[in-house]
A and B are shown apart, each in its own frame.
Chain A
Amino acid sequence: MEMRVFARALVRWWFLPVVMLAIALAGVIIYHRIRDKEHASSNVAIMQSYFPPPGEYVPPQLGFDALAGSQDLHARIANALHDGTTADQVGQMLSIDYQPKLNQPNPSPIYKVTIADTDRARAIKIDNIAVQEAKQLYGEINSPSAQDVASAFKTQTDAAQKKVDDARAALLDFEQKNDAFALSQRRDQEFGLIAQLRSAAVTASGRGATTDNGDGAALVAARVELNRLMALEPQYEQLTSDLTLASAARDRLSQRVSDLQIAGPSSAAQLADAQSQFTSVQATYGSALIALGDFQTANGISNLPAAVQGQTTMVNQLVVADATTRESAGAIDAAIGREQAELQRLLALEPQYDQLNLDLVNAESQRTSLSQHVLDVSIGQSLPASIQVRVLQDATIESNMVMTLLTYGLAIFLAVFVSLTAIYLLAYFEKMPASVEDIERVFGKPVIGRIPAAGS
């Protein structure tokens, strides 16, 4: 189409752009009247961990901007507002956007928390609430739950415990079958007893004493008590092991609670969680303590190893005294022979005993390490939210000028474009001659006359 034809059509339908412009501008004005909202926004930085706490630092699994879609966050904000705003309404007005800064690489990502509302003051208020609630929720979401960690490690923990139980059962079975309770101590005691008996035998042979095969009643009673105490040792070790484990966990959680109390109110959720764990461990510790106390009361002992040691010494002394009292070299020699036989038996059992004991120690060590690791994971892998989330700028109102100008510009552009397109199409499909020149072109002849209008 020639420009002349289009220009003529434009002159003919000049009102089309005017009408379209009027409609477009009116539409934009109405749109802004109805839809315009104030946008309040804050800037939040998520700090990286420069000084990770004990245990390996693990980056947050959930980004800060993902919280924008959290129904939990919407509900928290709505609850904090107390003005009837629903969680869904909060969800519609809230947005959290990552703020990339390619020219200034920063390891700590920055996010913009924005609230759109018709009222300026309310937008600022909701935005500040949203930042605080998001900060709280972010810390909670990215902190591992003690129960979840315990559940995650349950298989390994149970396996380690079973290994300990099996090792202890094997050792106990060995000790019962072979009368080898506290084998190492008894071996040492036998060495000492034999040495004392030999000394007594030298003394008795000088006096020409005769031998006698019988033991005294006190010695027999002392031996019975010693055997009872030794039989109690496996159960005692189990109880003291449980108590030691619970005590270690209690000490560590106590330290964690103390750290979080120092961190301030922003770590309230984590503090509550740690205190909950501490209470649980404290209860476990108390139970272990009570069980040990019951055991000690029921068996009439306070410190079993010390009691065994004392009883052993007493038995040794009674054996020597009994042999000396009889003043019989033969009796002393018989006692020496008996004790040497016992020593030989114990020495023969020692390698297998050592192996079983080592298995038990290793199993208990593994279980202890695992328990410690589980505890580290649950309390030590993430920094409190107050440290990781920093508010760089509180809520301020953003200017809508650019958006407003853009919408007006777009409306004007569209109105002009649509109207010019319409005029172009009208001109293109117009069959009526736009001027007498069009008819001249059809016939290839000029206008040779013009009858003027009436009155001219």
Chain B
Amino acid sequence: MSVVIPAAPQAGSKRRMLGLRGPASSAQPLISAHPASPFAESFRLLALNVRTMLSFDARKSVAVMSGYAKEGRSLVAANLALALAEEQRVLLVDERRRAFAGPGSLTDLFRPGGENGGQRIPGEMRRSIVESAHPGVFIMPRLVDTGGPDDDVDAAITHASDAGMYTIIDTPPALTTTAAFEEARLAGNVLYVVRDATTDLDAHRRVRDQLERLNVNVLGILLNEH
């Protein structure tokens, strides 16, 4: 089964890839659709790196972050979760707000399913963790509204780590909402996604400075040339 996330239009932006200046793809595949492709291998290698770097981390959680929208955070979060899930169960937290979520959001991609038929994991949370149709991947869907503080993520990470799961959080753009930093603080680790050079260095520096103030560990940079 292949699930496709439609690409957002690139209107008005001068596309300049880092060393590669090809056009953005119109569809973002999941590695489960092309398990033997270089695309899938690149996520398996990324998953290996993440596993290694989080091997001594108790919470084993990572926030996938970028400066602005359309950097490929959802693509990375989804495929990293699928790659990690090939060896260990993963909790995928969809924290993108409605304003930033397109029709092909993670909540839509990872619909309930699986052996337990999308069975919910009970807990003291407003949002339930549901097993998705992809083996080993559990989804915590995005908030329907934006009102009020949400402690579900911290609890979900705790539950997941207690269950020996990795937690991958798909955050909103860091420079447009502070929620991304809140989730980064809860995760403790950040995977910083960079697609092209449309984000200037000053913006990257602002993200870095804020992460340092929150004592968040940046695992590394992920270059999205897709």
Contact = CB atoms under 8 A, between A and B. Distances in A.
Nearest to A440: B221
B226 interface: yes
Interface stretch (B136-144, B145-153, B192-200): B192-200
B178 interface: no
Nearest to B29: A454
A314 B205 CA distance: 142
B109 interface: no
A433 B224 contact: no
Interface string A415-447: 000000000000000011111101110110111
Nearest to A431: B200
B200 A449 contact: no
Given A431-B200, A436-B194, A449 B223 contact: yes
B125 to A, nearest CB: 31
B221 A448 contact: yes
B79 to A, nearest CB: 8
B220 interface: yes
A456 B42 CA distance: 11
B22 to A, nearest CB: 5
Most buried by B among A434, A440, A448: A448
A11 to B, nearest CB: 11
Contacts of A448: 46, 49-50, 53, 191, 219-222
B218 interface: yes
A432 B225 contact: no
Chain A interface residue bracket vs B: 20 to 34
A238 to B, nearest CB: 110
A438 B38 contact: no
Contact of A452 (B208, B220, B226): B226
A101 interface: no
Contacts of A438: 201
A451 interface: yes
B70 interface: no
Interface in A168-219: none
Contacts of B42: 449-452
Nearest to B79: A451
B18 A436 contact: yes
A445 B222 contact: no
Contacts of B100: none
Interface string B78-93: 0000000000000000
A227 B102 CA distance: 150
Interface in A243-297: none
Interface in B178-226: 191-192, 194, 197-202, 204-205, 208, 218-226
B76 interface: yes
A135 B39 CA distance: 91
Contacts of B155: none
A451 B39 contact: yes
A348 interface: no
B76 A445 contact: no
Nearest to A452: B38
A221 interface: no
B200 A432 contact: yes
B46 A432 contact: no
B194 A439 contact: yes
A451 B218 contact: no
B201 A451 contact: no
A443 B45 CA distance: 21
A451 B221 contact: no
A452 B40 CA distance: 10
A453 interface: yes
B116 interface: no
B226 A453 contact: yes
A433 B16 CA distance: 10
Given A439-B204, A440-B221, A451-B39, A433 B18 contact: yes
Interface of B: 16-20, 22, 25, 38-39, 42-43, 45-46, 49-50, 53, 72, 75-76, 191-192, 194, 197-202, 204-205, 208, 218-226
15 contacts: A432-B199, A432-B200, A432-B201, A433-B197, A433-B199, A434-B197, A436-B194, A439-B194, A439-B204, A439-B221, A443-B204, A448-B191, A451-B224, A452-B39, A453-B225
- Sort A-B residue pairs by CB-CB distance and give the 5 closest, nearest first: A448-B220, A449-B46, A431-B200, A454-B25, A432-B197
Given A432-B201, A442-B201, A451-B222, 13 more contacts: A431-B200, A431-B202, A432-B197, A433-B200, A439-B201, A440-B221, A445-B218, A445-B221, A449-B220, A450-B225, A451-B72, A452-B226, A453-B25
